[in-house]
């Protein structure tokens, strides 16, 4: 009997031992948001986290390079590819085909900056704080600018009731914000960039913004928004701040496999650990050849002369019995897997071409030509200085050079858009000699008047946020 | 108090001792074997006098002079009462109590006689699922229980099944039932680790009355598996089972083009000139190739199973050892398993016993990649063209050889040879599972049973994925300077549980029986995962990372969860006629924040055995008639482990550490709650010749765990919240009809039917739809769950062959736009009805069991159909097509045709590819023969059975192109719901096996 009582006692002692404390489990790979910003190192890590968001495959890690060229006259689809992004290529954008990945990602970049900005006063005043804040503001402005370029009318063409996007400055996930006017939106971008320039360090190392590259982003911003004089000033500030020029003729090919930083103002570093296959949006190479997703528009391809160093961006090769012009700009970095290279966001040649175009717009042909020649002399074998163009011919030369120099870096669509120009594709096929399958007739041109120049607002956003106004293209 | 009781007890004993005057002796034997039965309890009725038989079955007991009545009882045997009269020797033969064994139903933390049940519990006998050529215990439940829908995820060896008990009650959290074996919670990945031959019985708890004692994890039903313990057989019994058989893909109901047809099609569509077609027609390097023949093979299944079972005087035991080996129908797919089990129980004293259950299993599988491109052989066999050979051939049609003299795989126009990849990019997984417990049972007073169980569920997963250096895939994704890449995963999960229960049954007043259950349970789970990736291997023969030139990636992670619960149950019955049960459980979970850590779940139920009423006495036709009803709640936990918290996590930029926001906070997050009520009738008429049950249920799921979309401008896309409500309703019928009952010949008809209707009642999303990740279905208030959401197809323009669509407003248009998608009301992926029917018949030693499974009312978006017949031209028409793709528009006036294909014609998502998927399938047919006893006795064997069986032999499929039994679309693009989309997953198989069961 006593044994039974012992056993019973033992039994109940075990049974009613509270295990309630064991319900408080902490994750091994995260900390509460409220304790994420305490020390300097926390902010250093958080600002790196913003740069990392740029590397997302729907942002500078891939699509943001591709789609502005796909929705333009620079690329046509390969009939032997996987028909990736063909809806965009065929001008079939709608609420379900509205670059949702980029929309999400750019806003996630903004969220990461806003967490830093909201907590910035946890830091002591001084250079460290200024530099963190400067980078956060510049990155916030850059993401808003990218969104604005995709979804809004350029402010110089906008009417009074045209809409910009939402300028997000807080981390409250419960917000359902409405869009603001175009001019207000773009002036908020300018404000962040301008404030950032005053705060950021002159040098933060490769892969990070600094004073020169923020000046450079401002130059891009001013040119896009039609503010030529400011574009010139910002370009000059950039040039002054870096003290360097464009990559030379010899250096140029090495820019694309990350062997040199020459002429690169800002790039997002893509390590072997990240494994972001930036170039896979163009093609994949295998033992039996390179399988293209997109190939250069044949008319555009013919603009790259043999004396042009940029003709090394193409290789002819066979696939499935046909010959194609493969785009090899993002093929490979030695030692890394295929298609893994750093994402070049801003280069000195863009700054010079921006300066050239802005001067030309202001009929300052001499300065424009000089800036243009800085680029041209390093791109063409045997280029004779100085160039000879003036007037409209100079305008055309600048536009041509810009199209060639910035091809496949996500500019062409926006350059056409800010100049109110149509897309006119060459009626030629996808094969190396212009044979093969040409764009269907309804995809040969997109008039400048088309509402599709403002990408539709993603349906997912319209569903979740009743205050979000659609674009004309949503209908 | 105890002293007083003891004194009373002593007094009674003494009184009787004084009254006795003589001794009776005898032997108790087993009626089956004639051998003595040890340990039988022999009791003088109406007294406390009792003895046990000795090892040989002999006993000796004192009785009063008039003899009195002796009661002989033994677990698993029918109780016998014998009038002693004047005899001094009373020999007794005891028979196995078949009734008692089959009638006890395992319930949550206890067991109940079926007649006493007040809740909806289906049982599946272990015998029904044994010796079948199917690895997973989950798949074996298909068609075994009304209201329990089981659909194979796919046909891969060892693949899992989807189990849906009474519909779908969740959108974002799990819809799988809680699966418990011998008190230990399993994950679905472990179902195929168990040996089905070890199973004694499976109970499926369906209504709240049965499930709510499992509280927060129970809303999708509970499956309780009880393994064998040896109580079935007294004498040591050795059983050996063997089977061997073959499997093949269930044939398609359509035909693919051959070489000539495909070339003609390509010319007609404009993908190829006549000249280039002629070139291929005449080329010996392009022979007509049937890719299904090339990529498929005959699969095989072979199993061995050996078990030892028995129970001695103070112990019970069951040991088993089994192997299961299946070669899949494609190269590179197989499943091999070795299982061992040791279940024992020892009675140490009258009131204390100890025991354990333990299974240790080792399984491995090779997987083909389950993805929607030609890296998956089951897509490749449709996509590769019939003029593309497996190996590159020269102009004479001979194989070209590489520098090693091996034939060179043809990458085809897809740029990828799956035949090569299956050999050079192997993916292998190995699992080691140890699942078991130790338990102690104390029975301090009669009727009170205290049980403490400590269980462990330990699982190691090892995965290796190797892209051999020099393989075609390596050329696409690898680094030419460091060829070959490999990833190894190593995960260890350790889940422990400690469960304590007290069960007390007592009868305070005659006829009033009260049962009490009280208990606690603690579960803690810890998963450690690690992985390593390297590149640069010397050759495909070297697989370990110490051979690699560079380690490229490595990671470890830990995830934990815990659950701490108290529960109780009270049951009452009056004269086994009126029953009532109430239960309650309080669960605390680590997954929720401080504000919502605990949840309380309850249930109540009642039953009435009407046939026991006096007014039914005259109604002889009715042998059983019972009404039961239940109401109660249960919960469902989120998949996320720390779901209520707001987090910053870490990553890397430029190989330095980053911190980034990873999760939005929701302090109010709590369980998904089910409120269920159901009523049921169990009936048996004409001496139970016709028996069955009818159930009606309603299941309301509230506070759905749902990722509510937030404005993307916030930088997030959704937040996990409790929103919305879904209702499931249905009827379940089950019947059995013993058409013939005689000694030599029996014939029983069986069948079941279940239907399910569901509706989204509330989404709290401002009236907006929530479109599912798949993009082809949605949730909308007032519609069924996962109603398809598609642009409507409006046929072919007879004038020009263009594909036509309807706009959202119903206007015909030739321009497809995703904005024109509408909810296709009434069409969803979930079957609205399903069940089984069949018969069991036996004549002398021959037995034939036939089981059909049927389901329907569901629709599937048939991607394969879209790609292979209706490609419309463009890129996908370059892949092989079905022969009936020729039936397209050719000239004005053509009707009843496919749209005119063309080089620039796109294939658009529309309800054109949405197909009804009703089917009836002959799931299993089993013919067996038991050797007659005369032969067995000669060989000193207990039982010898030979059998042959066939699975999925025949299918009635009136609407669907391809196999209508659709589980998942594709594992690697796992965005789809059950049965929503076909995406070329591993096909289902049919097969025939033959085998042998011998019992010594």
DSSP state of B420: H
pLDDT in tens, A2-15: 665 665 666 565 55
Least Cα distance to A110 among A21, A187, A178, A171 occurs for A171
Q: For residues B707 and B722, give the distance between their C-alpha atoms in angstroms, rounded to a whole number.
A: 9
Q: Is A400 on the interface with B (CB under 8 A)?
A: no
Q: Residue A325 pairs with which residues in a beta bridge?
A: A316
Lowest mean pLDDT among B77-91, B292-306, B393-407: B77-91
Q: Is B904 on the interface with A (CB under 8 A)?
A: yes
Q: Which residue of B has its CA nearest to A110?
A: B715
Task: Give B230's pLDDT tier (boundaries 50, 70, 90).
Answer: confident
CB–CB contacts below 8 A, A to B: 256
Mean pLDDT to the nearest integer, B939-943: 85
Q: Check whether B949 has a pLDDT greater than 50.
A: yes
Residue B763's contacts (CB-CB under 8 Å, 6 or more residues apart) are: B706, B723, B724, B770, B779, B780, B781
Least Cα distance to B136 among B58, B199, B183 occurs for B199
Q: pTM for this structure?
A: 0.83
Q: Coil, strand or helix: which one is B969? A: coil
Predicted confidence at residue B100, as pLDDT, reads 43
Q: Which residue of B has its CA nearest to A174?
A: B710
Task: Give B354's pLDDT tier (boundaries 50, 70, 90).
Answer: very high
CB B800 within 8 A of CB B902: no
Highest mean pLDDT among A202-211, B34-43, B152-161, B970-979: A202-211
Predicted confidence at residue B322, as pLDDT, reads 95
Q: For residues B728 and B696, give the distance between their C-alpha atoms in angstroms, rounded to a whole number.
A: 11
Mutate to test the interface with B, among A5, A464, A469 (most CBs of B within 10 A): A464
Q: Give the other-Cβ count within 10 Å of A210's Cβ.
A: 23
Predicted confidence at residue B149, as pLDDT, reads 83
Calculate the average pLDDT of chain A.
Answer: 92
Q: Give the other-Cβ count within 10 Å of B52's Cβ.
A: 13
Q: For residues B383 and A235, give the distance between their C-alpha atoms in angstroms, rounded to a whole number.
A: 53
Q: Check whether B883 has a pLDDT greater than 70.
A: yes
Least Cα distance to B20 among B63, B50, B58 occurs for B63
Q: For residues B671 and B251, give the distance between their C-alpha atoms in angstroms, rounded to a whole number.
A: 44
Q: Check whether B11 has a pLDDT greater than 80.
A: no
Q: What angle do the packed helices A100-119 and A63-70 form, to 10 degrees?
A: 140
Q: Which residue of A has its CA nearest to B775?
A: A96
Strands (E), A299-453: 314-319, 322-327, 343-347, 423-424, 445-446
Percent of chain B with pLDDT over 90: 51
DSSP state of B88: S
Q: Is B690 on the interface with A (CB under 8 A)?
A: no
Calculate the average pLDDT of chain B.
Answer: 88
Q: For residues A472 and A456, give the distance between their C-alpha atoms in angstroms, rounded to a whole number.
A: 7
pLDDT in tens, B31-83: 766 778 877 888 887 776 778 888 788 888 888 888 788 888 776 677 788 88
Q: Residue B281 pairs with which residues in a beta bridge?
A: none
Count H helices and E strands in chain B, helices first.
11, 54
Residue A340's contacts (CB-CB under 8 Å, 6 or more residues apart) are: A270, A272, A274, A275, A276, A277, A278, A279, A332, A333
Interface of B with A in 474-533 (CB under 8 A): 475-479, 481-482, 498, 500, 520, 522, 524
| Cis peptide bond N-terminal to A103, omega within 30 | no
Q: Residue B749 pairs with which residues in a beta bridge?
A: B737, B839
Q: Would you call B97 exposed, middle or buried from its count of C-beta atoms within 10 A (0-12, 13-18, 19+)?
A: middle
Task: Give B109's pLDDT tier (boundaries 50, 70, 90).
Answer: confident
Q: For residues B16 and B63, give the distance between their C-alpha atoms in angstroms, rounded to a whole number.
A: 9
Mean pLDDT to the nearest integer, B245-272: 92
Mean pLDDT to the nearest integer, B564-584: 92
Mean pLDDT to the nearest integer, B846-857: 93
Q: For residues B770 and B258, give the distance between their C-alpha atoms in angstroms, rounded to a whole number.
A: 44
CA angle, corner B326, sides to B322 and B330, nearest 5?
170
Task: Give A328's pLDDT tier (boundaries 50, 70, 90).
Answer: very high
CB A28 within 8 A of CB A113: no
Residues of B in contact with A473 (CB under 8 A): none
Q: Check whether B874 has a pLDDT greater than 80.
A: no
Q: Is A318 on the interface with B (CB under 8 A)?
A: no
Q: Which residue of B has its CA nearest to A97?
A: B818
Nearest residue, CB atoms, A30 vs list B416, B657, B662: B662
For residue B486, what are the CA distances in angstroms to A29, B541, B635? 25, 12, 42
CB B373 within 8 A of CB B366: no
Mutate to test the interface with A, among B6, B484, B654 (most CBs of A within 10 A): B654
Q: Which residue of B has its CA nearest to A44?
A: B658
Q: For residues B307 and B321, give the distance between their C-alpha atoms in angstroms, rounded to a whole number.
A: 6
Least Cα distance to B501 among B418, B567, B423 occurs for B567
A465 with B711: Cβ contact below 8 A: yes
pLDDT in tens, B488-507: 999 999 999 999 999 999 99
Predicted confidence at residue B8, as pLDDT, reads 40
Q: Check whether B9 has a pLDDT greater than 50.
A: no
Q: For residues B785 and B823, give the distance between their C-alpha atoms in angstroms, rounded to a whole number.
A: 11
A23 with B655: Cβ contact below 8 A: no
Mean pLDDT to the nearest integer, B565-591: 92
Q: Check whether A18 has a pLDDT greater than 80.
A: no
B653 with A49: Cβ contact below 8 A: yes
| Phi-psi category of residue B688: left, alpha or beta, with phi > 0 → left and psi -120 to 50 → alpha | left
A28 with B558: Cβ contact below 8 A: yes
Q: Is B649 on the interface with A (CB under 8 A)?
A: yes
Strand B92-94 to B22-30 pairing: parallel
Predicted confidence at residue B934, as pLDDT, reads 83
Predicted confidence at residue A322, as pLDDT, reads 87
B475 with A466: Cβ contact below 8 A: no
Q: Coil, strand or helix: which one is B938? A: helix
> To the nearest 5 percent, what fractions of chain A are helix, strand and coil?
50, 10, 40
Task: Give A244's pLDDT tier (boundaries 50, 70, 90).
Answer: confident
What is the distance in angstroms between the CA of the first residue and the CA of the last residue of chain B?
A: 53
Q: What angle do the packed helices A348-361 and A391-405 form, to 10 degrees?
A: 160
pLDDT in tens, A214-241: 999 999 999 999 999 999 999 999 999 9
pLDDT in tens, A30-62: 999 999 999 999 999 999 999 999 999 999 999
Predicted confidence at residue B40, as pLDDT, reads 82
Q: For residues B158 and B125, give the distance between their C-alpha atoms in angstroms, rounded to a whole number.
A: 21
pLDDT in tens, A372-399: 999 999 999 999 989 899 999 999 999 9
Residues of A in contact with B497 (CB under 8 A): none
Q: Residue B557 pairs with which residues in a beta bridge?
A: B529
Predicted confidence at residue B835, as pLDDT, reads 92
What is the distance in angstroms between the CA of the first residue and the CA of the last residue of chain A?
A: 85
Interface of B with A in 310-349 (CB under 8 A): 349
Q: For residues B417 and B400, give the distance between their C-alpha atoms in angstroms, rounded to a whole number.
A: 15
- Letter string b/e over residues A416-430, b meaning 16 or more CB atoms within 10 A of that residue's CB: bbbeeeebebbebbb
Q: Pick B934 or A414 by higher pLDDT.
A: A414
Q: Residue B873 pairs with which residues in a beta bridge?
A: B902
Q: For residues B268 and B286, give the distance between their C-alpha atoms in angstroms, rounded to a whole number.
A: 20
* DSSP-H helix ranges across B51-184: 98-103
CB B801 within 8 A of CB B888: yes
Nearest residue, CB atoms, B711 vs list A11, A275, A468: A468
CA angle, corner B756, sides to B755 and B758, nearest 5?
160
Task: Give B16's pLDDT tier (boundaries 50, 70, 90).
Answer: very low
Q: Which residue of B has its CA nearest to A4?
A: B444
Predicted confidence at residue B15, as pLDDT, reads 40
């Amino acid at each position: 009997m006593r044994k039974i009582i012992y056993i019973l006692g033992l039994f109940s002692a075990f049974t009613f031992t509270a295990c309630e404390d064991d319900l408080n489990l902490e994750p091994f790979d995260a900390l509460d948001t409220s304790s994420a910003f305490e020390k300097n190192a926390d902010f250093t890590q958080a600002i790196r986290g913003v740069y990392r968001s740029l590397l997302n495959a729907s942002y500078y890690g891939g699509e943001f390079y591709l789609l502005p060229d796909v929705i333009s006259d620079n690329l046509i689809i390969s009939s032997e590819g996987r028909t990736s992004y063909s809806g965009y290529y065929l001008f079939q954008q709608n609420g379900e085909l509205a670059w949702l990945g980029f929309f999400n990602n750019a806003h996630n970049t903004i969220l990461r900056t806003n967490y830093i900005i909201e907590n910035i006063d946890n830091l002591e005043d001084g250079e460290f704080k200024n530099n963190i804040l400067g980078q956060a503001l510049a990155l916030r402005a850059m993401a808003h600018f990218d969104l604005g370029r995709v979804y809004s009318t350029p402010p110089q063409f906008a009417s009074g009731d045209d809409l910009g996007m939402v300028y997000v400055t807080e981390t409250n996930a419960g917000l359902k914000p409405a869009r603001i006017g175009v001019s207000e939106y773009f002036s908020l971008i300018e404000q962040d960039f301008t404030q950032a320039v005053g705060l950021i360090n002159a040098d933060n190392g490769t892969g990070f913004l600094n004073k020169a590259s923020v000046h450079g982003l401002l130059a891009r911003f001013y040119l896009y928004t039609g503010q030529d004089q400011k574009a010139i000033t910002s370009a000059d500030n950039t040039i002054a701040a870096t003290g360097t020029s464009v990559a030379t003729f010899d250096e140029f090919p090495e820019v694309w496999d990350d062997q040199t930083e020459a002429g690169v103002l800002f790039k997002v570093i893509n390590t072997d650990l990240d494994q972001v296959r930036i170039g896979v949006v163009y093609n994949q190479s295998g033992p039996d050849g390179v399988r293209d997703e997109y190939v250069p528009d044949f008319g555009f391809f013919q603009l790259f002369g043999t004396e042009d160093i940029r003709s090394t961006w193409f290789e002819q090769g066979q696939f499935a019995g046909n010959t194609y012009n493969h785009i090899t700009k993002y093929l490979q970095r030695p030692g890394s897997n295929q298609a893994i290279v750093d994402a070049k966001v801003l280069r000195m040649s863009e700054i010079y071409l921006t300066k050239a175009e802005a001067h030309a717009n202001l009929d300052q042909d001499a300065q424009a030509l000089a800036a243009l020649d800085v680029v041209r002399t390093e791109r063409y074998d045997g280029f004779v200085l100085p160039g000879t163009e003036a007037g409209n011919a100079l305008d055309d030369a600048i536009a041509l050079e810009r199209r060639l120099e910035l091809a496949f870096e996500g500019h062409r669509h926006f350059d056409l858009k800010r100049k109110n120009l149509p897309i006119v594709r060459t009626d030629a096929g996808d094969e190396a000699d212009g044979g093969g399958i040409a764009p269907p007739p309804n995809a040969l041109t997109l008039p400048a008047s088309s509402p599709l120049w403002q990408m539709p607002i993603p349906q997912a956003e319209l569903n979740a946020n009743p205050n979000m106004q659609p674009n004309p293209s949503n209908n | 108090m105890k002293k007083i009781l003891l004194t009373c007890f002593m007094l009674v004993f003494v009184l009787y001792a004084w009254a006795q005057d003589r001794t009776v002796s005898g032997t108790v034997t087993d009626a089956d074997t004639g051998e003595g039965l040890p340990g039988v309890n022999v009791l003088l009725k109406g007294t406390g006098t009792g003895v046990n038989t000795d090892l040989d079955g002999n006993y000796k007991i004192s009785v009063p002079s008039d003899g009195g009545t002796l009661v002989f009882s033994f677990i698993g045997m029918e109780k016998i009462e014998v009038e002693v009269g004047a005899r001094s020797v009373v020999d007794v033969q005891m028979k196995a109590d078949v009734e008692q064994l089959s009638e006890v139903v395992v319930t949550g933390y206890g067991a109940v006689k079926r007649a006493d049940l007040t809740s909806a519990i289906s049982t599946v006998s272990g015998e029904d699922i044994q010796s079948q050529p199917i690895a997973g215990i989950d798949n074996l439940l298909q068609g075994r229980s009304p209201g329990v829908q089981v659909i194979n995820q796919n046909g891969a060896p060892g693949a899992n099944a989807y189990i849906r008990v009474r519909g779908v009650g969740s959108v974002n959290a799990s819809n799988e039932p809680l699966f418990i074996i011998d008190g230990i919670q399993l994950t679905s990945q472990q179902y195929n680790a168990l040996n089905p031959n070890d199973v004694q019985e499976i109970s499926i708890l369906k209504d709240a009355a049965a499930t709510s004692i499992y509280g927060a994890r129970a809303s999708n039903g509970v499956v309780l598996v009880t393994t064998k313990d040896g109580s079935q057989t007294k004498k040591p019994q050795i059983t050996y089972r063997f089977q061997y058989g073959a499997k093949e893909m269930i044939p398609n109901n359509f035909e693919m083009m051959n070489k000539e047809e495909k070339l003609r099609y390509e010319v007609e569509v404009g993908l190829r000139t006549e000249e280039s077609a002629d070139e291929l027609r005449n080329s010996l390097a392009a022979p007509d190739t049937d890719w299904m023949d090339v990529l498929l093979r005959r699969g095989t299944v072979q199993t061995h199973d050996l078990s030892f079972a028995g129970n001695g005087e103070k112990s019970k035991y069951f040991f088993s050892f089994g192997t299961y080996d299946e070669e899949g129908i494609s190269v590179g797919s197989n499943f091999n398993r070795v299982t061992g089990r040791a279940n024992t129980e020892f009675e140490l004293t009258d009131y204390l016993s100890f025991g354990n259950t333990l299974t240790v299993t080792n399984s491995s599988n090779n997987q083909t990649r389950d993805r929607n491109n030609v890296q998956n052989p089951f897509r490749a066999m449709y996509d590769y063209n019939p003029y593309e050979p497996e190996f590159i051939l020269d102009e004479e049609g001979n194989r070209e050889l590489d520098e090693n003299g091996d034939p060179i795989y043809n990458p085809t126009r897809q740029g990828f040879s799956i035949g090569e990849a299956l050999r050079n990019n192997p993916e292998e997984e190995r699992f080691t599972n140890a699942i078991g417990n130790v338990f102690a049972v104390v029975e301090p007073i009669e009727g009170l049973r205290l049980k403490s169980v400590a269980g462990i569920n330990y699982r190691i997963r090892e995965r290796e994925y190797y892209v051999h250096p020099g393989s075609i895939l390596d050329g696409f994704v690898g680094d030419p300077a460091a060829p070959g890449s490999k990833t190894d995963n190593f995960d260890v999960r350790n889940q422990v549980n400690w469960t304590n229960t007290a069960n007390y049954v007592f009868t305070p007043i005659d006829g009033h029986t009260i049962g009490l259950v009280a208990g606690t349970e603690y579960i803690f789970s810890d998963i450690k995962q690690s992985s390593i990736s390297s590149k640069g291997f010397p050759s495909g023969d070297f697989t370990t990372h110490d051979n690699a030139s560079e380690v490229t990636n490595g990671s470890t992670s830990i995830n934990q969860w815990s659950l701490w619960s108290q529960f109780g149950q009270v049951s009452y019955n009056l004269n086994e006629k009126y029953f009532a049960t109430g239960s309650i459980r309080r669960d605390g979970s680590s997954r929720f924040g401080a504000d919502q850590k605990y949840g309380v779940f309850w249930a109540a139920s009642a039953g009435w055995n009407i046939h026991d009423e006096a007014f039914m006495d005259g109604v002889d036709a009715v042998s059983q008639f019972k009404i039961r009803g239940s109401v109660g709640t249960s919960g469902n936990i989120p998949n996320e482990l720390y779901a209520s918290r707001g987090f910053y996590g870490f990553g890397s930029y430029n190989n330095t550490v980053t911190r980034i926001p990873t999760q939005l906070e929701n302090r109010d997050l709590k369980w998904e709650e089910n409120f269920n009520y159901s009523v049921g009738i169990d009936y048996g008429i004409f001496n139970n010749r016709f028996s069955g049950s009818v159930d009606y249920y309603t299941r309301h799921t509230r506070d759905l765990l749902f990722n509510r979309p937030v404005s993307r401008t916030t930088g997030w896309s959704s937040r996990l919240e409790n929103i919305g409500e879904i209702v499931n309703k249905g009827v379940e019928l089950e019947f059995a009809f013993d058409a013939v009952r005689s000694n030599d010949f029996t014939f029983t008809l069986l069948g079941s039917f279940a239907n399910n209707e569901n509706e989204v009642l509330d989404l709290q999303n401002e009236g907006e739809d929530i479109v599912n990740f798949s993009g082809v279905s949605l949730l909308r208030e007032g519609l069924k769950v996962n109603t398809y959401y598609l642009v409507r197809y409006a046929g072919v323009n007879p004038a020009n062959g263009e594909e036509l669509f309807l706009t959202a407003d119903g206007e015909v248009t030739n321009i497809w736009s995703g904005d024109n998608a509408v909810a296709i009301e009434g069409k969803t992926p979930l079957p609205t009805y399903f069940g089984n029917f069949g018969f069991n018949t036996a004549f002398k030693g021959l037995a034939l069991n036939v089981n059909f499974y049927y389901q329907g009312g569901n629709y599937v978006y048939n991607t394969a159909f879209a790609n292979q017949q209706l490609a419309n031209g463009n890129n996908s028409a370059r892949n092989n097509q079905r022969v009936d793709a020729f039936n397209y528009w050719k000239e004005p006036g053509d009707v009843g045709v496919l749209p005119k294909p063309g080089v620039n014609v796109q294939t658009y998502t529309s309800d054109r590819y949405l197909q009804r998927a009703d089917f009836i399938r002959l799931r299993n047919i089993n013919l067996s023969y038991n050797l007659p006893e005369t032969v067995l006795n000669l060989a000193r064997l207990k039982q010898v059975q030979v059998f042959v069986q066939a699975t999925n032999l025949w299918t009635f499929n009136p609407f669907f192109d391809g196999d209508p039994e659709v589980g998942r679309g594709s594992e690697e693009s796992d965005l789809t719901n059950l049965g929503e989309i076909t995406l070329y997953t591993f096909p289902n198989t049919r097969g025939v096996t033959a085998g042998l069961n011998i019992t010594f």
